[in-house]
């Protein structure tokens, strides 16, 4: 089984509902996938200790870690920091998929240097207009859902993630002025995506 840990902060004042809906989008997909065993880590458990307890469940096996919360260039956080250089060594043999702001700038390389296998995420702040929540979290989640559902490499999933952004952008640019503004936001988010580490791994490695 592919161990997929999903950390999400449903308690955030501004984006809690968004983070929850994004989590639910992924978890509903995982439940239909017989190869995936998912563990959800809710906001109050998004602490260094809470992460450690969840990692103990998978007993040192390889895993996919999906982060749906706030972040910055050095850490993931909910009500407190739950992943930083301080506990990066616990993420050895993992593929980290981040929807959090800026975590691809510094922390991603720290994670790779400490034994994480690959990282997909954003190297700067991303914006989410909440009136278009579903569009934005669907775009953010596209790559990891493709990876877990298909026999393809991480790099292929990354390229499909970018391609899907572009498809949605093209649809919006044919619409109203408001949709053009939303398209420009998606362009900014897409262009901040990065892939670090071993892009040649497939889901079979984690199974």
Q: CA separation (Å) from 118 to 3, 19, 20, 21, 160?
A: 15, 23, 25, 25, 16
Residues 6+ apart with CB under 8 A from 146: 152, 156, 157, 160, 161
pLDDT of residue 98: 99
- Regions of the chain short of the pLDDT cut 50: none
Q: Residue 57 CA to chain centroid, in angstroms?
A: 21
pLDDT at 169: 99
Please tell me the predicted confidence (pLDDT) of residue 114: 98
Token pair in block for residue 127: 């914006």
Rounded CA gap, 202 and 207, in Å? Answer: 9
Q: For residue 65, give the 3-state DSSP assignment.
A: strand
Angstrom distance (rounded) from CA 9 to CA 89: 23
pLDDT of residue 21: 99
Task: Record the tokens describing residue 25, joined without a space.
Answer: 């989008």
- What pLDDT was estimated at residue 160? 99
Predicted local distance difference test score (pLDDT) of residue 97:
99
Identify the pLDDT of residue 205: 97
Residue 9 contacts residue 78 (beta carbons within 8 Å): yes
Quick check: helix, strand or coil at residue 69? coil
Residue 34 tokens read as 């017989």
pTM: 0.97
pLDDT over 70 for what percent of the chain?
A: 100
How many angstroms separate the CA atoms of 76 and 127, rounded? 17
Domain 2-206: give its CATH architecture.
3-Layer(aba) Sandwich (3.40)
| pLDDT attached to residue 104 | 98
pLDDT at 52: 97
Question: What is the residue extent of each domain of the chain?
Answer: 2-206
- Confirm if 38 and 154 have CB atoms less than 8 A apart: no
- Strand-pairing partners, residue 5, are 39, 65
Average pLDDT, the chain: 98
In this prediction, residue 47 carries a pLDDT of 98
Tell me what pLDDT residue 20 has: 98
Residue 110: per-residue pLDDT = 99
Say which DSSP state 124 is in.
S
């Amino acid at each position: 089984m592919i161990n997929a840990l999903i950390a999400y902060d449903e308690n955030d004042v501004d984006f809690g509902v968004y983070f929850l809906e994004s989590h639910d989008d992924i978890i509903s997909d995982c439940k239909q996938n017989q190869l995936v065993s998912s563990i959800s880590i809710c906001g109050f458990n998004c602490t260094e200790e809470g992460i450690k307890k969840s990692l103990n469940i998978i007993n040192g096996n390889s895993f996919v870690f999906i982060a749906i919360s706030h972040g910055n260039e050095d850490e993931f956080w909910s009500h407190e920091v739950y992943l930083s250089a301080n506990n990066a060594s616990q993420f050895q043999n993992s593929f980290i998929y981040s929807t959090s702001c800026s975590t691809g700038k510094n922390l991603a390389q720290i994670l790779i240097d400490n034994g994480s296998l690959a990282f997909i995420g954003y190297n700067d702040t991303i914006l989410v207009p909440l009136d278009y929540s579903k569009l934005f979290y669907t775009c953010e989640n596209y790559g990891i859902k493709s990876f877990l559902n298909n026999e393809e490499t991480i790099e292929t999933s990354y390229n499909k993630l970018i391609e899907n952004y572009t498809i949605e952008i093209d649809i919006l640019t044919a619409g109203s002025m408001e949709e053009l503004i939303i398209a420009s936001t998606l362009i900014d988010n897409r262009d901040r995506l990065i892939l670090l580490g071993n892009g040649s791994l497939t889901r079979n490695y984690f199974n």
